[in-house]
């Protein structure tokens, strides 16, 4: 596994920056290893993939996980407000960093991934393929 560390700053779009970093570096299969920071605009797609939640307020990132396959992210985020109430869902563009976000990403060596349409789910799903390490 190759590790990458990056810090996002006020005004950065969380999803756009992660995808952009992975595309810029030419990374194939990446996972989120660690994330900590805060956001000032929260935007997620909710369960059932129908409704969205968008709130302009201050939140602490308490969880961020998922995969980035060839620069395309599938990430879920959890965040807490100033009363400790937690919200979460499928991370969308428009989730904006407040002061900072510290990220640790891991590129999975020995694997490649693509997204293929799955008739059972109705979505493009990730397909992992084991490859020889370089």
**Token duo for residue 106:** 């891991």
What whole-number distance in Å separates Cα of residue 124 and Cα of residue 106?
A: 22
Q: What is the pLDDT of residues 70-103, one digit of tens each?
A: 899 999 999 999 999 999 999 999 999 999 999 9
pLDDT (0 to 100) of residue 124: 87
117 pLDDT higher than 80: yes
Query: pLDDT tier at 123 (50, 70, 90 boundaries)?
Result: confident
What Cα–Cα distance (Å) separates residue 17 from each residue in 51, 68, 91, 96, 97? 24, 12, 12, 10, 10
Query: pLDDT tier at 111 (50, 70, 90 boundaries)?
Result: confident
Domains located in the chain, CATH noted:
2-130 (3.30.1330.80)
Taken in order 132, 70, 47, 49, is the CA torsion positive or negative?
negative
What whole-number distance in Å separates Cα of residue 26 and Cα of residue 20?
A: 10
pTM (predicted TM-score): 0.91
What whole-number distance in Å separates Cα of residue 119 and Cα of residue 85?
A: 36
What Cα–Cα distance (Å) separates residue 69 from each residue in 13, 27, 114? 18, 8, 6
In this structure, are residues 12 and 117 in contact, taking their beta carbons and an 8 Å threshold? no
Q: What is the pLDDT of residues 31-76, one digit of tens each?
A: 999 999 999 999 999 998 889 999 999 999 999 999 999 899 999 9
134 pLDDT higher than 60: no
């Amino acid at each position: 596994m190759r590790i990458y560390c990056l810090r996002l700053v006020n005004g950065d779009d969380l999803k756009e920056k992660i995808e952009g970093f992975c595309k810029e570096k030419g990374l194939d299969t990446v996972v989120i290893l660690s994330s900590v920071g805060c956001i000032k605009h929260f935007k997620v797609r909710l369960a059932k993939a129908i409704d969205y939640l968008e709130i302009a307020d201050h939140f602490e990132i308490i969880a961020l996980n998922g995969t980035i396959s060839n620069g395309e992210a599938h990430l879920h985020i959890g965040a807490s407000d100033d009363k400790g109430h937690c919200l979460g869902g499928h991370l969308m563009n428009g989730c904006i960093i407040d002061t900072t976000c510290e990220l640790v990403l891991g590129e999975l060596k020995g694997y490649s991934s693509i997204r293929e349409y799955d008739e059972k789910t109705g979505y493009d799903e990730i397909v992992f393929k084991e490859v020889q390490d370089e």
